[in-house]
Amino acid sequence: MKYDLAVIGSGPGGYVAAIRAAQLKMKVAIIERYSTLGGTCLNVGCIPSKALLDSSELYLQAEKHFGVHGIGVSSLKLDWDTMRGRKDKVVEDNVKGVAFLMKKNKIDVHTGHATLLGSGKIAIAAGDGKHTEIEAANVIIATGSKPADLPFAKLDKERIISSTEALALKSVPKELVIIGAGVIGCEMGSVFARLGTKVRIVEYLNSAIPTMDGTMGKELGKSLKNIGIELYLGHKVKSVESKGKKAKVVCETPSGEDIELTGDYCLMAVGRRPYTDKLGLENVKISTDQRGFIKVNENLETAQPGIFAIGDVIGGAMLAHKAEEEGVFVAERLAGQKPHINYRAIPWVVYTWPEVAGVGYTEEELKQVGREYKVGSFPYKALGRARAANESEGVVKVLADKKNDEVLGVHIFGARAADMIAEAVVALEFRASAEDIARMSHAHPTFTEAMKEACLSATENRAIHL
Ligand code: FAD
Ligand code: NAI
């Protein structure tokens, strides 16, 4: 079988690349080692985690916050099997949706593990022992990533688990220790804390979500504590052990003492590693960096002409929408177009409640690069819509160039931040000034008015409602 393009991996990078290439009239094959399409994102990542985040937040609202609206709940019951079952059904519907899209776009789906054999040849080993070979003029590697662990603490998938196992636990744990207060730690920690688990998160650095804007980490830290999560910031993990039905974590406090934390499970959320196992990189001229990420040039092409790589396997922001942009980029380049990706305008979101979202430079990065900036901010508590919704916890922070007012970064902590950040992405892509946004009409009463007010505050410190 000879194709114009073969895509290895059906995550958001791979399947979106395949669809775009098919739209551009290429004959496309996609190869996936698992029986369902959609990769990490649809099967064990974005989609199942958001399903549980939404369900658990509803439970918390019913338990703690319905009262202020005058809604009484007399016998609130948590049915974990149903909650988990709903999550599984959401995943099933989504992966079926991708299979439908493959059919619709006439993309051949090959199920099995792909190995590069060189010169456009790919071997596919199916689970039933069947072996096929296909040929393609171009190849996109979109093999994604797997959970990372620590050299002294390997995942046993029983008590020392990754997000994959955490998303499929048979019952809600009584106690959970999480290593890493990054995105997975904060999101999965929130799911279980809302359902009654005693959650303790150990983080090496001094803030939750430490790579994001500092204000966001501080605000999120406070709100995690409000739902009962204990944060052990600045703590160094020394050992993680599985002991019968418990996991035991020893860590060193900032003052140098050792403390022991025990949970039914220890969830390792210390990042993800690129996945290139048995991909046959040695058969082609493709090299990886020290951490195993595939090296690519500005066109996302590897050292082997005609073989491209996208998504988590090349590093950068490990986000589904970043992988998608890269998939579209390669497909369009192969069709002779001249696409462009503005990596600075790729937003990120943490789906806790309140949510955190950001795009562009953080304040720490602006300081680091020595760019002169001004800050505008607006608190949710001054916002009518937020008060009406009983969602007054939050802030919008706008960073703009001190001289020409160009929006350089926007960071939002608060209800609906995930959706609100889209406006900031448009601002960055069109190189809007804070005043441009401030002069646009924002519907009243909406959460987006906080964005307008923060831009007014950045412009001449002239927010109206503050
Ligand atoms: P993947 O989605 O990892 O897909 C790679 C695919 O390639 C896999 O299906 C794999 O089986 C297949 N494959 C690998 N090797 C081979 C081979 N040799 N042959 C055949 N097939 C192969 N990102 C967001 O943007 N928003 C979120 O809310 C979000 N939530 C997340 C929650 C969790 C718990 C996790 C773990 C991740 C989350 N992410 C989120 C990150 C997101 O899932 C990844 O960035 C995204 O899936 C990367 O896409 P990809 O296409 O590069 O790779
Ligand atoms: P992460 O990189 O977000 O966070 C890892 C955290 O672990 C960091 O805060 C780090 O300082 C800490 N850490 C590392 N080693 C440690 C140690 N020895 N002791 C204590 N703390 C330690 O990685 P995470 O949360 O595992 O997520 C992996 C990837 O998945 C991320 O890159 C993220 O982009 C993606 N993802 C995205 C989501 C979203 O977009 N909402 C949701 C979940 C995951």
Is residue 173 very low, low, confident or very high in pLDDT (cuts 50, 70, 90)? very high
What digits encode the pLDDT tens for the residues 257-290? Answer: 999 999 999 999 999 999 999 999 999 989 999 9
Q: Which of 65, 69, 444, 465 is catalytic?
A: 444
Q: What is the 3-state secondary structure (H, E, C) of the chain?
A: CEEEEEEECCCHHHHHHHHHHHHCCCCEEEEECCCCCCHHHHHHCHHHHHHHHHHHHHHHHHHHHHHHHCCCCCCCCCCHHHHHHHHHHHHHHHHHHHHHHHHHCCCEEEECEEEEEECCEEEEECCCCCEEEEEEEEEEECCCEEECCECCECCCCCCEECHHHHCCCCCCCCEEEEECCCHHHHHHHHHHHHCCCEEEEECCCCCCCCCCCHHHHHHHHHHHHHCCCEEECCCEEEEEEEECCEEEEEEECCCCCEEEEEECEEEECCCEEECCCCCCHHHCCCCECCCCCECCCCCCECCCCCEEECHHHHCCCCCHHHHHHHHHHHHHHHCCCCCCCCHHHCCEEECCCCEEEEEECCHHHHHHHCCCEEEEEEEHHHCHHHHHCCCCCEEEEEEEECCCCEEEEEEEEECCHHHHHHHHHHHHHCCCEHHHHHCCCCCCCCCCHHHHHHHHHHHHCCCCCC
Is the CB of 150 inside a 6 Å radius of any atom of ligand 2? yes
Distance 420 CA to ligand 2 centre (A): 23
How far apart CA 348 and CA 321 sit, in angstroms, is 9
What digits encode the pLDDT tens for the residues 212-268? Answer: 999 999 999 999 999 999 999 999 999 999 999 999 999 999 999 999 999 999 999
Counting residues of the chain whose pLDDT is more than 70, the rounded percentage is 100
Q: What per-residue confidence (pLDDT) applies to 432?
A: 98
Query: Of the given ranges (21-35, 83-97, 450-464), which has the lowest mean pLDDT?
Result: 450-464
Is residue 119 very low, low, confident or very high in pLDDT (cuts 50, 70, 90)? confident
pTM metric for this prediction: 0.98
Nearest CA to ligand 2 atom 30: 318
With a cut of 90, say whether residue 403 has pLDDT above it.
Answer: yes
What digits encode the pLDDT tens for the residues 59-112? Answer: 999 999 999 999 999 999 999 999 999 999 999 999 999 999 999 999 999 999
Q: Is 250 exposed, middle or buried (0-12, 13-18, 19+ CB in 10 A)?
A: middle
> Spelled out in words, what is the top-level CATH class assigned to the domain 2-146+273-343?
alpha beta
Locate the domains of the chain by residue range.
Answer: 2-146+273-343, 160-270, 354-458
Nearest CA to ligand 1 atom 46: 320
Nearest CA to ligand 1 atom 45: 319
With a cut of 80, say whether residue 38 has pLDDT above it.
Answer: yes
With a cut of 80, say whether residue 1 has pLDDT above it.
Answer: no
For 381, the token pair is 């508590």
Q: What angle do CA 159, 162, 167 make, to 5 degrees?
A: 95
Q: What per-residue confidence (pLDDT) applies to 460?
A: 83
**Considering the domain 354-458, what is its CATH architecture?**
2-Layer Sandwich (3.30)
- Intrachain domains 160-270 and 354-458 with the same fold: no
Q: Kindly state the average pLDDT of the residues 165-183.
A: 98
Q: What per-residue confidence (pLDDT) applies to 461?
A: 85
Q: What per-residue confidence (pLDDT) applies to 282?
A: 95
When the pLDDT of each residue in the chain is averaged and rounded to a whole number, the result is 97
Q: Kindly state the average pLDDT of the residues 299-316.
A: 97
Distance 316 CA to ligand 1 centre (A): 14
With a cut of 90, say whether residue 354 has pLDDT above it.
Answer: yes
Decide if domain 160-270 falls under CATH 3.50.50.60. yes
Verify whether residue 444 is a known catalytic residue.
yes
With a cut of 80, say whether residue 140 has pLDDT above it.
Answer: yes
Pocket of ligand 1 (CB under 6 A): 8-14, 31-34, 39-41, 45-46, 49, 113-114, 142-145, 163, 184, 275, 279, 311-313, 318-321, 323, 351
Nearest CA to ligand 1 atom 3: 144
